[in-house]
Amino acid sequence: MKVRQIGRRRKIHRVFTMEQVLITACLFFLSAAVLIICIVRNNSEGRIRMGKKIWITAHRGASYGAPENTKAAIELAIAEQADYAEIDVRLTKDGIPVLMHDRALFRTTGIANKIDQLTYAELLSYDAGRKYAEEFAGEVVPCLQEILEVYGDQIKFNIELKGGNDRTLAGTVITLIEKYGLEEQCVVSSAFYEQLEWVKKENKKIRTGYILPLVYGEVFGYDAADFFSVRSDSVTEQLVRGAHAKGKEIHAWTVNKSYEIKRMREVGVDNIITDKPAYVRELLR
């Protein structure tokens, strides 16, 4: 009789343990499912609130590791798997669009001359790499045509029009983009809204970006701008939501610090412009 009672107690104990296991398993799988959904929605690489990836743009090429706006910087941007290379374009004295941020050459070449005072042939005699580091000695200021021809199928380009509201520059850049069939590979940006209007008038397929230190007022209604390139410390979640509500994008510049990279991800920007594309990509992961 005692043996039977003990057996029954053991049997009851085993049934109760199985119920605990089933309940625990259900709770575990439910929690795991919720966690996976949260990760997918909030923490995956390239996540933004519009459901697209965060693009990475190499500022003036990957200018942290190579002299800015040179072929070496473009090649490093490609090697570091940047989505875009942002390049600055100006016209020489003889009307050739070349890669150079400043009007004066001194900061990058050590020469006091200005781009628009030199022909392209004269410009080729200047060294655009030695001042950055001896290993880059011999780098020249490249022309836009060469860059698009050689690298146009390897990386996208954000071509910033420098030199003011110059329709000649805009027209020359558009012609080159069309020549190589790179309307889907290139965007054109400018701090002068009139430049963007001119680009759209000439070719509506080319996406354009309005460069601003900060955004205020009703600028999201500017039809000639597909995106706004904004200084990162002015970018907020409210700004991004406002742009997205109007079908526009926010590109943040120039983002190199880890805390700012993470903040840009959290507020949901569409594109991070950085000197360090590989570093940004690693943090986004």
Query: What pLDDT score does 21 carry?
Result: 52
Residue with tokens 């049934």: 15
Classified as helix, coil or strand, 208 is strand
Amino acid 41: pLDDT = 43
C-alpha pair distances (Å), 45 with each of 128, 141, 227, 278: 35, 35, 21, 13
258-267 and 277-284 helices cross at what angle (nearest 10)? 60
Based on the number of CB atoms within 10 Å of its own CB, is 149 exposed (0-12), middle (13-18) or buried (19 or more)?
middle
**Cβ contacts of 151 within 8 Å, gap of 6 or more:** 74, 75, 78, 85
Domain extent listing, the chain: 1-43, 45-284
**pLDDT for the residue numbered 69:** 98
pLDDT tens track for 133-151:
999 999 999 999 999 999 9
Which residue type, as a one-letter code, is found at position 282?
A: E
**The pLDDT value given to residue 29:** 62
- Spell 258-283 as b/e; 16+ CB within 10 A means b: eebbebbbebbbbbbbbbbbbbbbeb
Would you report the helix, strand and coil content of the chain in percent, each value rounded to 5? 45, 20, 40
- Residue 158 carries which DSSP code? E
Which residues of the chain are modeled with pLDDT < 50?
A: 1-16, 34-51
Q: Which fold has domain 45-284?
A: TIM Barrel (3.20.20)
